[in-house]
Amino acid sequence: MLTVSCTEAGNARPTFWWSNSIKLEIAVHLTPPAPLSDFLPQTIVGLGNPGPTYDRTRHNIGFAIADALARSRSISLSDTRKFKGEFGEGRSPNGGKLRILKPLTYMNRSGEAIVATINWYKLPPESVLVVYDDMDLPVGRLRLRLSGSAGGHNGMKSAIAHLGTQDFPRLRIGIGKPPIRGDRTNSHVLGKFAPDEVPIMARVVDLAVEAIEFSLKEGVEKAMSLYNNRNAAES
């Protein structure tokens, strides 16, 4: 007689033994998945649009932070066709491997590059930390979250659609709302930072790199409590 017993939900790990009555019994001991807060990011994705037209625009702040992190970790980024983006690999502050990706698919198809990368390395969605611009945050602010909706951001809509979940960490970078009432969103996000915003955003990039490196060592949840109330505009 074959008996299977399941005690918890999660990953199955069967144990086999023979009983005195010569029955083969299989006990499946299952452990629940680890909470999101326990994961350390392994792949940092900076969102943006490729090409000189979009360079240094508000919408490309994710690219700028990915570049700054790559410099900080001495990681060289290069065009990698199989990942549909600029990609590099190096050593994480936690001693493991760190991967940095800049999708070159244009913003609204960013998820294609993200899923290509994590599928290749057999990584779960929660190992990805996505960095992107957010109009709902003022210039100078950043906000780490463990999960959440796209909030109207096309790059994040694509990431969520391709990963099949919104349960992965992200770092939102404030770019502020259009200064003139009625100004179109596209002209704002695709425009460059105002002269008085440039030095603030330079500090934001440094602060974002610091927050990411802390997340890589201690986890996103601890980084949230340390960095979510910081304001580079007041430095």
pLDDT at 185: 83
4 and 116 fall within a common domain: no
Q: Are strands 43-46 and 97-103 parallel, antiparallel or unpaired?
A: parallel
pLDDT at 121: 97
Q: Can you tell me the distance from the alpha carbon of 31 to that of 176, in angstroms, rounded to the nearest whole number?
A: 44
50 and 99 fall within a common domain: yes
The whole-model pTM stands at 0.84
97 and 117 fall within a common domain: yes
Q: Can you tell me the distance from the alpha carbon of 107 to that of 118, in angstroms, rounded to the nearest whole number?
A: 18
CATH number at residue 173: 3.40.50.1470
81 and 136 fall within a common domain: yes
88 and 23 fall within a common domain: no
59 as an active site residue: the answer is: yes
120 and 216 fall within a common domain: yes
Closest CA to 200 of 168, 235, 155: 235
68 and 147 fall within a common domain: yes
pLDDT at 26: 42
pLDDT tens track, the chain, 235 positions:
444 444 444 444 444 444 454 444 444 445 555 555 567 999 999 999 999 999 999 999 999 999 999 999 999 999 999 999 999 999 999 999 999 999 999 999 999 999 999 999 999 999 999 999 999 999 999 999 999 999 999 999 999 999 999 999 999 999 999 877 666 788 999 999 999 999 999 999 999 999 999 999 999 999 999 999 999 999 6
**N-terminal to C-terminal alpha carbon distance within the chain:** 71
pLDDT at 89: 98
16 and 127 fall within a common domain: no
Q: Are strands 14-18 and 43-46 parallel, antiparallel or unpaired?
A: unpaired
Q: Which of 59, 153, 162, 188 is catalytic?
A: 59
Domain that holds residue 8: 1-33
pLDDT at 39: 77
19 and 134 fall within a common domain: no
Residues 6+ apart with CB under 8 A from 71: none
Q: Can you tell me the distance from the alpha carbon of 163 to that of 38, in angstroms, rounded to the nearest whole number?
A: 19
Instruction: Please give the tally of structural domains in the chain.
Output: 2
118 and 196 fall within a common domain: yes
pLDDT at 1: 47
pLDDT at 186: 87
129 and 16 fall within a common domain: no
pLDDT at 184: 76
E-strand stretches of 136-178:
142-145, 170-174
23 and 69 fall within a common domain: no
pLDDT at 36: 53
The sign of the dihedral angle between the CA atoms of 183, 187, 190, 196 is negative
